[in-house]
Amino acid sequence: MVLSDKQTLAELMAAFPRPGLLCWLGLRPQPREPLESVSTATLVTDRGLDGDHRARRAGSKRQVTLIQHEHLVAIEAFCGISVSPGQLRRNLVVSGINLLALKDRRFRIGDALLEGNGLCHPCSRMEENLGLGGYNAMRGHGGITARVLAGATIELGQSVSVSD
């Protein structure tokens, strides 16, 4: 795309400098249990990640949760502690692409097709996992939720890119 003074907002919102990268995967087998870090997982159409407790019912808005790797640094700075992706209770950690720009858009992770459909706000569990102020440390940094439109097996290192 050629840069010009006459680009529309839609054109600006469609331009991404590069694809992102899937850098962490986690499954929540049961509510309130620790996440299991895995290197590969299967996204099931209209359900979520196979083996995750949220995938038991079809049609949920919050089938998969994603957070940006770049935001882990901010959360750590606010909390004053080292933070692991599992503490934040998100399924996928991606780097190199702005997740907020994927809200209300279709995107691919490997062969899977997802649609960002909302912000993933922190919950009160962040106080337990991160300590006093953990909830506020994550505000604005919680990532997004997504629906699975076309399932596939995904693995660490796969590309995360906008699907037109």
Specify the pLDDT at position 4. 60
Over the Cα atoms of the chain, what is R_g?
16
| CA distance linking residue 7 with residue 86, whole number of Å | 40
Residue among 48, 63, 50, 78 nearest 141 (CA): 78
Residue 2: the pLDDT is 54
CB 35 within 8 A of CB 58: no
DSSP 96: S
* Second CATH level (architecture) for the domain 20-154: Beta Barrel (2.40)
Q: In this predicted model, what pLDDT tens digit does every residue of 1-30 receive, in sequence order?
A: 455 667 888 888 888 878 999 999 999 999
The pLDDT of residue 10: 83
| pTM, to two decimals | 0.90
CA distance 88 to 125: 9
Q: Which two tokens stand for residue 22?
A: 């899937």
- What is the phi/psi pair of residue 78, to 5°? -70, -35
Backbone φ and ψ for 101, nearest 5 degrees, come out as -75, -10
The domains of the chain are located at 20-154
